[in-house]
Structures are given as structure tokens and as C-alpha cells.
Amino acid sequence: MLTTNGAAGVAGLLLSKPRIPRCISTSILYSYTVLTFIVKGVPADWEVKGVGDFNGDGKTDILWQSKDVGDVYAWIMDGTKIQSSSDFVAKGIPSQWQIRSIADYDGDGKSDVHLQDIDTGKIYVWLMDGIKIKGGDFVKPKGGASQSMGVSERGSGGDTWNMKSAGDYNGDGMNDMLWQDGSNGDVYIWFMDGTTINSGGYADHGVPGDWSIY
């Protein structure tokens, strides 16, 4: 998983060992590699869900979640150092709510957290300020629909759309959501403004099944 250090302008890789004790380390990508442990012995029920810049300092932070109890925790990072401002983001998130992406959806320079209910397909975004959830809502189309836009998991019911990626596709400073239909390869983009879908459109149709979006 790629990380960045805004102050130094360098990139690194986040690595982990799958067996217990689990070791989390970074590999700094200069002309040579320096391997530095962040921490050793992370409990096995905690998983890295993604990376993002939660406090807007230009340095990549790490988001964790417990598989057992659903708690979400953010490491606020300075290189390989875990800052004292690290803390729980939320506790006891129900297991059907899955973290899908970490991206800046409201354009404030700080990463937000996108979750999806795998039972209903409903989508919710936490708008973040560091480790604090400053706001959030179900994702809805512009105009204030009475309920959230439901996009179910692939193979669930008759809906086969999967969230594939987040990125700022229209250059407005806010990340958007890219979806693909697993049944026919069609690709569709939601252009986002916080938790609102401003507009959307197909990027392509019928992408062959042997091509993958990363």
C-alpha cells in the first residue's frame, strides 16, 4: 500500500506480515530501501482498511478496523511515528457496514470515509476532520431524494454494480466514485460534492471481463 510524506516529498510502502505476531513496517523508496518497523504484534483481529491524509498535513495516515467488534481507529502518522493524536474514530460499527474507500469527498484537503451496507447497498460517507467525524449522510442525488441511492453488491439480487475506485475525475477538488457493472463491464462515475451526487455518466460500456480496474 503506497504512502507519502508531504514534508519530505518521498513515498513509501506499507507492509505487514500475515502471521502472528503481525508486524507493520514502512519501506522508504529512495534509490535504496530502508525498512523501519512502525509497531510489532498488532492483534490479529485488526485490519488495515486503507490510507489517507485525515488531518491535512500532507502525510499519509492509516485506518484500522477490528473484525471482531467493528471498532475503527486511525493512526495519525509522521513518517514512521504514530502521533499522540491517534484515536478511535468510531466503535461498534455493525458488521454489514463495510469501509469501501478513503478519499476527500468534500474538498477540504482531509480524507473522508465511505461505507456501504452490504445487505441493502446503501452508502454513507463520514466527513472527517482528523479523527473526528464532523458530519456525514447517506449518499443522495442532487435535489434531495427521500432515500439513499442503493447499489447492491455484485451477485446480490438483480443488481451487479461494484464500487471500484475513488478519484477526482472532473477536477473540482472533490473525489468521485467509479462503479462497474459486473454483468456487462459497463463503467459509471458519480461526480460527488460531499455526500451529494451532483451528476453522473457512463465512462465506457462493455469493458472485457479480463480487464480490471485498480
Does residue 210 belong to any structural domain of this protein? no
Query: Which residue(s) pair with 62 in the sheet?
Result: 51, 75
Does residue 197 belong to any structural domain of this protein? yes
Work out how many domains the chain is built from and give that number: 1
Which of 156, 143, 41 is CA-nearest to residue 98?
A: 156
Q: Which range is least confidently modeled, 50-54, 150-154, 162-166? A: 150-154
Q: What mean pLDDT, rounded, does the chain reach?
A: 84
The predicted pLDDT at position 37 comes to: 79
Does residue 110 belong to any structural domain of this protein? yes
Which of 104, 100, 128, 127 is CA-nearest to residue 114?
A: 100
Strands 176-181 and 161-167: antiparallel
Contact 150, 121 (CB under 8 A): yes
Does residue 24 belong to any structural domain of this protein? no
- Return the number of other C-beta atoms located less than 10 Å from residue 140's C-beta: 16
The predicted pLDDT at position 152 comes to: 52
Strands 187-193 and 112-117: unpaired
Which has more confidence, 135 or 9?
Answer: 135
Strands 187-193 and 196-204: antiparallel
Longest Cα pair distance anywhere in the chain, in angstroms?
A: 55
The predicted pLDDT at position 128 comes to: 98
How far apart, in Å, are the Cα atoms of 95 and each of 83, 110, 115, 183, 185? Answer: 28, 26, 11, 26, 29
pLDDT at residue 1 above 70?
A: no
Does residue 199 belong to any structural domain of this protein? yes
Range(s) of the domain holding residue 51: 47-140+154-204
Q: What is the pLDDT of residues 19-75, one digit of tens each?
A: 444 555 554 444 455 667 788 888 999 999 999 999 999 999 999 999 999 999 999
pLDDT at residue 157 above 50?
A: no
Does residue 31 belong to any structural domain of this protein? no
As a whole number, mean pLDDT of residues 76-86 equals: 94
Strands 81-82 and 97-103: unpaired
How far apart, in Å, are the Cα atoms of 198 and each of 7, 49, 175? Answer: 34, 27, 12
Does residue 172 belong to any structural domain of this protein? yes
The predicted pLDDT at position 39 comes to: 83
As a whole number, mean pLDDT of residues 192-210 equals: 93
The predicted pLDDT at position 155 comes to: 43
pLDDT at residue 196 above 80?
A: yes
The predicted pLDDT at position 131 comes to: 96
Q: What is the pLDDT of residues 169-180, one digit of tens each?
A: 999 999 999 999
pLDDT at residue 83 above 60?
A: yes
Does residue 9 belong to any structural domain of this protein? no
pLDDT at residue 204 above 90?
A: yes
pLDDT at residue 77 above 50?
A: yes
The predicted pLDDT at position 162 comes to: 87
Q: Which residue has the cell 443488481?
A: 159
